[in-house]
Amino acid sequence: VIPADFEYVAPTTLAEAITALGQAGEDAKILAGGQSLIPVLRLRLAFPTTLVDLSRVAELRGVTDEGDALVIGAMTKHSDVIDDPLVQQHAPLLAVATSTVADPAVRHRGTFGGALAHADPAGDLAAVALALDAELVAEGPGGRRTIAAKDFFVDYLETTLSPDEILASVRVPKLAGAWGVRYEKFNRVAQAWAIVGVAAAVRMEGGSVAEARIGLTNMGSTPVRPSGVEAALVGASDKAAVAAACASVADGLNPPSDLGGQADYRAHLARVLTARAVAHAAGMTS
């Protein structure tokens, strides 16, 4: 439809952006790639007074190697994350999950940081950030703050970012050793949100699971890290053992019931898809 009236500013540096955001007051919104915000504006579900557009802030884009971690600028587009050689080498789970986001048009507009700050539990990347122990770097008038992914996502569309802070970058620790990865996304048409998604990274030693990291998409009001299942998977050496370890993955969770699926179906999907994601990441054929 047609959005209501709003002011628009487009700073060119992060410092300017922080200032602009402070001046605009608490009903301002940050415009990153716009792939979630603009539909919301068009449907008149939100009425921000000012949009602070970060698309001209060059310092918020790009991927850098900082030794034990990659630092990914918040305004790095999904398509650039997918194609980045550093990401492909050191954070392949992020590359494969990002390649399933929506459609090519969205991936060429939407940004990594925008997706995380929006904190939609149906979005694919929050579960990946959680599984990889990513750290989110926020900048505000009070300076810089680093937030662990497990502390960042608070509730549905809610994070620990304060209204005057901007998510500047995301620090993704490199996976050391030989890891296999898989993102199992279950949706009915290719460009749709995940009904359930499972991000898995698995390190094998001597034919059995030595370490597993798992993040669940759309199984609650935030992304979920099923630590108990990760622990139970250690030592599993075939699909049956993996499936047994994954059987409890939805225990205690409260997934949504909506047009995409009822909660009990989502719980079932989580069990099936987690087992598949882990087995695939582990390279198990039987």
Partner 1 sequence: MTEQLDAGLVAGVIEDHPDALSKPYAGGELGRGRRRKEDAKLVTGQTNWTDNITLPGLLHMAVLRSPMAHARVLSVDVSGALEMPGVIAAFSGADLADVMGASMPCAWPVTPDMVSPAHTPLAIDEVRYVGDGVAVVIARDRYTAADALEAIAVEYDQLPAVVDMEVAIADGAPLVHSDKGTNTCFVFDFPGAGADYAETVREAGDDAVVVRRRFRQQRLLPTPMEPRGVVVAPIAAADEFTMWSTTQIPHILRVMLALTTGIPEHKLRVVAPDVGGGFGAKLNVYAEEVLALVVARKLGRPIKWTESRSENYQATTHGRDQIQDIEIACRKDGTLLGLKVELLADMGAYLQLITPGVPVLGAFMFPAIYKMPSYHFTCTGVFTTKTPTDAYRGAGRPEATYAIERIMDELAAELGRDPMELRKQNWIRHEEFPYEMVAGLTYDSGNYEAATEKAEQMFDMAGLRAEQARRRESNDPVQLGIGISTFTEMCGLAPSRVLGSLSYGAGGWESASVRMLPTGKVEVVSGATPHGQGHHTAWSQIVADSLGVPFEDVELVAGDTKSSPKGMDYVYDPENFSYPHGTHLCAVEIDTETGFTSIRKYVCVDDVGKIVNPVIVEGQIHGGLAQGIAQALYEEAVYDAEGNLTTGSLVDYLVPAAPDLPHFDTGRTETPATSNPLGVKGVGEAGTIASTPAVMNAVVDALRPFGITDIDMPATPERVWRALQGKDMSRATAGTVSYGGSQTASTGGAASSEGAAL
Binding residues for partner 1, per CB under 8 A? 1-2, 4-5, 42-43, 103, 186, 188-193, 195, 259, 261-262, 265, 268-269, 272-273
Nearer to partner 1, 144 or 188 (CB): 188
Nearer to partner 1, 23 or 191 (CB): 191
C-beta separation of 143 from 112 below 8 A: no
Nearer to partner 1, 113 or 260 (CB): 260
Nearer to partner 1, 21 or 41 (CB): 41
Report in angstroms how near the CB of residue 193 gets to partner 1 at its nearest: 7
Report in angstroms how near the CB of residue 166 gets to partner 1 at its nearest: 27
Report in angstroms how near the CB of residue 190 gets to partner 1 at its nearest: 4
* Residue that is written with structure tokens 């409260």 in the block: 254
Taking alpha carbons only, the member of 126, 215, 140 closest to residue 170 is 126
Nearer to partner 1, 27 or 65 (CB): 27
Taking alpha carbons only, the member of 155, 97, 121 closest to residue 260 is 121
Report in angstroms how near the CB of residue 47 gets to partner 1 at its nearest: 10
Report in angstroms how near the CB of residue 2 gets to partner 1 at its nearest: 4
Nearer to partner 1, 20 or 200 (CB): 200
Report in angstroms how near the CB of residue 1 gets to partner 1 at its nearest: 4
Nearer to partner 1, 2 or 176 (CB): 2
Report in angstroms how near the CB of residue 11 gets to partner 1 at its nearest: 25
